[in-house]
Structure 1
Amino acid sequence: MTFTAQASLSRRLAVLSLAGLAASATLAQNSGYEPQRGQAGKDVIWIPTPDETVTRMLQMAEVQPTDRVFDLGSGDGKIAIAAAREFGARATGLEYNPDMVGLSNRRAQEAGVADKVQFRQADIFQADFSSATVVTMYLLPALNLRLRPLLFKMAPGTRVVSHSFTMGDWTPDETARAGYGDVYLWHVPANASGNWKLTGAGLPEAALSIAQRYQVLSGDAVFGELRASLVRPRITGAQIGFGLRDPKGQLWQFEGKVDGARITGTATRPGQAGVPFEARRTGEAAPIAPTTAAAEQEASAFAASTAR
């Protein structure tokens, strides 16, 4: 068989495979298929999320009508449907089981939100959900660890909510107990690491050095021969804040936004009006989270430890 013929055959087989999945989903949508608690899936068994847990997940993410919610491993579709019905957001469920996809589409129609919600048969590790502003999941710890490098490629400020399971050593920004499960929330942080040149009207020029691990910052500033630590530095999404005491002993408070290699915002000191400031990165940023290979190794180690 020639290469052209092989390619043509591969394309036809791919089309037939997709058609089969679509037909299965359509059949499930029309046949009244109902899942069984504990049934096996691709990587997890299916356990429905309690309604009160779903509501709390979406509340913690502060879902708004302007949001785009992606539910990874969407199962029966209840999280995506609730995001649309209760919070007015547009939502997409990614689910490997085509029968579940069909069931979810049927339930979205019954809930009157089929115009806001779609469900797709997909492998979450291959699918593109980069347009999400909110990501929800009820997976397993090892799967969360595998997802972590993908999440850190998303826009700063993207909210990530997990039912029951954490993200390894990435500390959540907020936790709750709702129903019988724990809920964890993270904000994908901008990368503020590296060396920066700080300037602004009325500000003494300084060289900043910032270290970052996930959303935890530390660092200092150099004014000539004086070195001073940043005071209570923090970052949430792209929003950064820190205090800094200048050579005259005045404590300035900086509030700004990280945009790539530039930070802009306002600096204030007690009793004075705020002044604009700017910082520009003078070198390369450092990784703020484990690489994909490191995350995969961590996930494999975790899976092996739980299998024993």
Structure 2
Amino acid sequence: MQRAHSSHSPARRWPLMASALALALSLAVLAEARADAASPRAAATEDYVPDVGQDGKDVIWVPTPQTLVDKMLDMAQVTPQDRLMDLGSGDGRTVITAAQRGLTAKGIEYNPDLVALSRSNAAKAGVSRRATFEVADLFETDLSQADVITMFLLSTINEKLRPKLLELPPGTRIVSNTFRMGDWEPDASETVTEACQTYCNALLWVVPARVDGRWQVGGRTLQLEQRYQMLSGKLGSSEISDARMDGRTISFTADGIRYTGEVNGATMQGSAAGKGEWSARRI
């Protein structure tokens, strides 16, 4: 009597297994191809041309005129020792210009196509090692390593970023194309008229050291109230005037004497016009 072959014999299982394996491999290759097509590297191979005014996550894309890019970097007094971060870096022109000046610069951009375009532009400019770009949300990005921050965002976005910016190390320079920072007044502003039709105003802020409170200056108390970089208060019983912070540098006038100094945590040290050196400690 002949024994019937099982329907699960190796001879029959092998074609089924081979077909399943081929299908799985095809799906994996297809998934990888789709991922590559969506990646910045793949996008860089395309002739991507962004549209002025196209929608973005937080703002529409409008390129900063090159003359204003140059002015913004000039106002920040950038040096090759500085690390720059551009928030909403678009086509990369600010980062690339900074890298051409010798800075290490990084662009933060939510649109992967713009990041790919920026990387391509940096490669063409020969600055890829100093000019890098990251697909990221600017609100979730660590800004603490930047000496200079540039941005072309709306005032509402700037105001939302303001608390985070004020936490940066004193002396960090922030430069915005056109849009302000609410009631935090800029330290300087300049308008470009050459080769610029719209959005031609550069605004500079320098993150101030926090000095509000009481300080001991010799035998007198320096009482300071601070609103961003602007100061008011008293030295002893005398009101101070023309008082402000410029990063870590403090300056004020009391009893007709001009005081300037540097803040280092809980101490200050500087000079008083015609009176020699002065120092203070927080109390």
For the aligned pair, the TM-score class normalised by the smaller chain equals 0.7 to 0.9
Among 257, 260, 284, the residue aligned to 2:262: 257
TM-score of the two chains, using structure 2 as the length reference: 0.83
After superposition, where does 1:108-187 map in structure 2 within 5 Å?
108-178=122-192, 179=196, 180-181=198-199, 182-187=201-206
Quote the offset at 1:30 in angstroms.
2.0
Deviation at 1:117, TM superposition (A): 0.7
1:244 and 1:166 map into 2 onto residues whose CA distance is 32
Report deviation, 1:102.
Answer: 0.7
Give, in whole Å, the separation in 2 of the partners of 1:153 and 1:258: 16
In 1, the alpha carbon distance for the partners of 2:282 and 2:36 equals 49
Q: Find the counterpart in structure 2 of residue 65 from structure 1.
A: 80
The one-letter code sitting in structure 2 at the alignment partner of 1:30 is T
Pair 1:55–1:254, CA change in 2 (3 A): same
Name which of 207, 212, 215 aligns with 1:188. Answer: 207
Q: Deviations over 1:211-262 (max 9, x none)?
A: 110111111122xxxx1112322210000112222xxxxx443221112221
Separation in 2 of the partners of 1:221 and 1:110? 57
User: Tell me, what secondary structure is at the counterpart of 2:202?
Assistant: strand
Give secondary structure in 2 for the equivalent of 1:125.
helix
Asked if 1:29 corresponds to 2:44, the answer is yes
- Out of 69-78 and 172-181, give the one that drifted further: 172-181
Which of 1 and 2 has higher RCO (CA within 8 Å, sep 6+)? Answer: 1
Identity over aligned pairs, percent? 45
Pairwise CA distance, 1:32: 2.7
CA shift, 1:95, in A, is: 0.3
Bigger Rg over Cα: 2
Aligned to 1:235: 245
For residues 111 and 131 of structure 1, do their structure 2 counterparts lie closer, same or farther at Cα, with a shift above 3 Å needed? same
Moved more, 140-149 or 256-265: 256-265
1:218 has 2:223 as partner: no
Segments of 4+ moved more than 3 angstroms = 19-23
In 2, Cα distance between equivalents of 1:117 and 1:279? 42
8 Å contact kept, 1:22–1:98? no
Count of aligned pairs between the two proteins: 247
| Structure 2 CA distance for aligned equivalents of residues 151 and 239 of structure 1 | 18
Q: Which residue of 2 aligns with 1:45?
A: 60
